[in-house]
Amino acid sequence: MVTMSPIATVIIFILMLLLVLLSLAYFTYSILLKTRPADRKKPVLPPGSMGWPYIGETFQLYSKNPNTFFALKQKRYGSIFKTHILGCPCVMVSSPEAAKFVLVTRAHLFKPTFPASKERMLGRQAIFFQQGDYHARLRRLVLRAFMPSAIRRTVADIEAVAVRTLRAWDGRRINTFQEMKTYAFNVALLSIFGKDEIEHIEELKECYYRLEKGYNSMPINLPGTLFHKAMKARKELERIVSKILASRRKKLVEFNDLLGSFMEAKEALTDEQITDNIIGVIFAARDTTASVLTWIVKYLGENPSVLQAVTEEQEEIMRSKEIDGDKYLNWDDTKLMPMTSRVIQETMRVASILSFTFREAVEDVNFEGYLIPKGWKVLPLFRNIHHSPDNFPEPEKFDPSRFERSPKANTFMPFGNGTHSCPGNELAKLEMLVLLHHLTTRYRWSLSGSEAGIQFGPFALPLNGLPISFSLKT
Ligand code: HEM
């Protein structure tokens, strides 16, 4: 019989133990590797919690700032997670790659989706709800009216609206958001109907104000309900648009505004399609632009050195125009405003007035091993992408100079991305630049100081619409 020395026994024991540990490590590693979502054959639902039956996590989302909810979830589960909001199972995504997948590369697998009452109020044939050929046709018509070569002719008219607007604030304490809404509304109407429909515009505005009161109402069409009143206002809007259409058809001239584009012979839309899309464009153009302008007033008020730099840039343009004897701003002047443009960009990043958008999966979709089931809502979280330190260092800091360099691809999407991205973005930037030219060169304003905070209506907004005291510079 062979006997081993105690030392040899210990060595063999240690070797065997090492072998067992190595096998264990290899086994665990291969299991982990296999269960990495991207390597699994069968995709699994993203991590996350679905909350209570039916109400899901709606209460958690709306009981605090929704952005806190998104940030907490992202911290816990990563850049893709599931939840359940307002009766719908949802997948939220917050990486640039996932947002691009949903909005651009696989956009055909995700259709736009809105609450039923919104769809009925804006009109079922409005651009937001469409996909495919009809959507492409509408986009062509809208872009034709809002691309730079079309809107460059309207700079002086927009300037007249801006000058009139600011003059009316002189010496008053104003609610910035409410006043910016009026400005953005007037510019939107100008770009839709041109200057010549003055006789119908006041009536049209009044109907729109009644309609928008019902935007977030329950779709119960009974006398007395907000929804019923809004639907009545919609009918009146249809009547006004029909009157304008009839008078234009008699004139037999071409118009360069949005209505002209919609009526253009080859691709003409029906009256109903035109009304739905006019209401839709007003809805898309007004509160968005007004919210961004309100944040700009706030950030400029809080950052004197930035305000100084913008003012100097705008005064330089004013001086050179005075020397040339040129009274009105033109398109080329708006291209000499890089500092002001960076302030607009940085405001849109920090404020991210549209924190997210909605889509719905039209079939089961596999994203990097995660299953997004058919019928589930998908929310690309713009704000999380704009506030990630990976994309923008010190993301909470308001620093327009960061836009001296272009942001990384798909990390800056204030106007969305892909097939439904904002066709009004050039007009929005133009009307903001024009207003800021006159605001900074001629006026001063002071913030009340007690209005820190944010509210959602539904766009992110400084608390109480940012009341300010406003006057001419002396
Ligand atoms: C600063 C102001 C604005 C912001 C931040 C903004 C933002 C956006 C965003 C993020 C989208 C895409 C939504 C999605 O993918 O679900 C969008 C779509 C749209 N926007 Fe804007 N927008 C602004 C101003 C305007 C203006 C001035 C107009 C028109 C005059 C306009 C017209 C539209 C339209 C018609 C769509 C729908 C496009 C489609 O579904 O194909 N927007 N906007």
Q: How far, in Å, CA of 432 to CA of 340, rounded?
A: 9
User: Which tokens sit at 184?
Assistant: 């953005």
Question: Does the pLDDT at position 330 exceed 90?
Answer: yes
Q: How far, in Å, CA of 139 to CA of 271, rounded?
A: 17
Residues with CB under 6 A from ligand 1: 112, 127-128, 139, 142, 146, 188, 191, 281, 284-285, 288-289, 292, 353-354, 357, 414-416, 420-424, 427-428
Determine the pLDDT at residue 18. Answer: 65
Q: How far, in Å, CA of 436 to CA of 159, rounded?
A: 10
Helix axis angle for 176-193 and 155-169, nearest 10°, is 150
Atom 36, ligand 1: which residue's CA is nearest? 422
What are phi and psi for residue 273, nearest 5 degrees? -65, -40
Determine the pLDDT at residue 253. Answer: 79
Residue 295, amino acid: W
Within 282-408, strands assigned E span 359-361, 365-367, 370-372, 377-380
User: Which tokens sit at 294?
Assistant: 């309100």
Residue 471 pLDDT level (bands cut at 50, 70, 90): very high
Q: How far, in Å, CA of 460 to CA of 430, rounded?
A: 21
Across 317-328, average pLDDT? 88
Question: Does the pLDDT at position 91 exceed 90?
Answer: yes
Higher pLDDT, 187 or 71: 187
Strand, coil or helix: 378: strand
Question: Does the pLDDT at position 419 exceed 70?
Answer: yes
Which one of 118, 193, 350, 422 would you pick to mutate in the ligand 1 pocket, going by the greatest count of ligand atoms within 8 A of its CB? 422
Q: How far, in Å, CA of 463 to CA of 301, rounded?
A: 15
Residue 10 pLDDT level (bands cut at 50, 70, 90): low
Distance of CA 432 to the CA centre of its chain: 16
Residue 51 pLDDT level (bands cut at 50, 70, 90): confident
Question: Does the pLDDT at position 29 exceed 80?
Answer: no
User: Which tokens sit at 181?
Assistant: 């809404």
User: Which tokens sit at 303?
Assistant: 């950052």
Cα dihedral 190/193/198/202 (nearest 10):
-80
How big is the CA angle at 304 (ends 302 and 307), to the nearest 5 degrees? 100
Question: Does the pLDDT at position 255 exceed 90?
Answer: no
Determine the pLDDT at residue 375. Answer: 96
Determine the pLDDT at residue 1. Answer: 43
Question: Does the pLDDT at position 147 exceed 90?
Answer: yes
Question: Does the pLDDT at position 403 exceed 90?
Answer: yes
Determine the pLDDT at residue 298. Answer: 96
Q: How far, in Å, CA of 29 to CA of 35, rounded?
A: 10
Q: Scan for tokens 């700079």, then name that residue.
A: 155
22-26, 333-337, 378-382, 467-471: least confidently modelled range: 22-26
Strand, coil or helix: 90: strand
At 183-227, the pLDDT tens digits run 999 999 999 999 877 788 999 999 999 999 888 778 788 999 998
Q: How deeply is 47 buried, as exposed, middle or buried, from its count of CB atoms within 10 A (0-12, 13-18, 19+)?
A: middle
Residues 6+ apart with CB under 8 A from 197: 244
DSSP code, position 37: G
Question: Does the pLDDT at position 311 exceed 70?
Answer: yes
Q: How far, in Å, CA of 68 to CA of 471, rounded?
A: 36
Determine the pLDDT at residue 307. Answer: 98
| Full set of structural domains in the chain with CATH | 58-196+255-472 (1.10.630.10)
Q: How far, in Å, CA of 57 to CA of 81, rounded?
A: 13
Question: Does the pLDDT at position 30 exceed 60?
Answer: no
Distance (Å) from CA 17 to ligand 1 centroid: 65
Determine the pLDDT at residue 93. Answer: 97
Across 150-173, average pLDDT? 96
Question: Do the Cβ atoms of 221 and 233 come closer than 8 Å?
Answer: no
Strand, coil or helix: 82: strand
At 345-360, the pLDDT tens digits run 999 999 999 999 999 9
Which one of 415, 426, 459 would you pick to mutate in the ligand 1 pocket, going by the greatest count of ligand atoms within 8 A of its CB? 415
Distance (Å) from CA 13 to ligand 1 centroid: 71
User: Which tokens sit at 468?
Assistant: 């300010």
Atom 41, ligand 1: which residue's CA is nearest? 420
Distance (Å) from CA 312 to ligand 1 centroid: 31
Q: Which ligand 1 atom is the nearest neighbour of the CA of 417?
A: 15
Distance (Å) from CA 451 to ligand 1 centroid: 28
Distance (Å) from CA 45 to ligand 1 centroid: 31
Determine the pLDDT at residue 31. Answer: 46
Sequential DSSP letters for 10-67:
HHHHHHHHHHHHHHHHHHHHHHHHHHSGGG-SS-BPPSB---BTTTBTHHHHHHS-HH
Helix axis angle for 176-193 and 271-302, nearest 10°, is 140
The answer to whether 422 is a known ligand-binding residue is yes
> How much of the chain exceeds pLDDT 70, in percent?
91
Question: Do the Cβ atoms of 219 and 116 come closer than 8 Å?
Answer: yes
Residue 32 pLDDT level (bands cut at 50, 70, 90): very low
Mean pLDDT, the chain, integer: 90
Q: How far, in Å, CA of 216 to CA of 175, rounded?
A: 22
At 454-466, the pLDDT tens digits run 888 778 899 899 9
Q: What share of the chain is helix, strand, coil (3-state, %, to 5)?
A: 60, 10, 30
Question: Does the pLDDT at position 26 exceed 60?
Answer: no
Question: Does the pLDDT at position 38 exceed 70?
Answer: no
Per-residue burial over 96-108, b if 16 or more Cβ lie within 10 Å, else e, is bebbbbbbeeebe
Q: How far, in Å, CA of 230 to CA of 445, rounded?
A: 36
Question: Do the Cβ atoms of 385 and 99 come closer than 8 Å?
Answer: yes
Question: Do the Cβ atoms of 84 and 99 come closer than 8 Å?
Answer: no
Atom 38, ligand 1: which residue's CA is nearest? 420
Question: Do the Cβ atoms of 423 and 146 come closer than 8 Å?
Answer: yes
Determine the pLDDT at residue 448. Answer: 79
Higher pLDDT, 14 or 361: 361
Residue 25 pLDDT level (bands cut at 50, 70, 90): low
Q: Which ligand 1 atom is the nearest neighbour of the CA of 418?
A: 15
Across 317-330, average pLDDT? 90
At 72-86, the pLDDT tens digits run 899 999 999 999 988
Q: How far, in Å, CA of 116 to CA of 440, rounded?
A: 42
User: Which tokens sit at 202?
Assistant: 């006041």
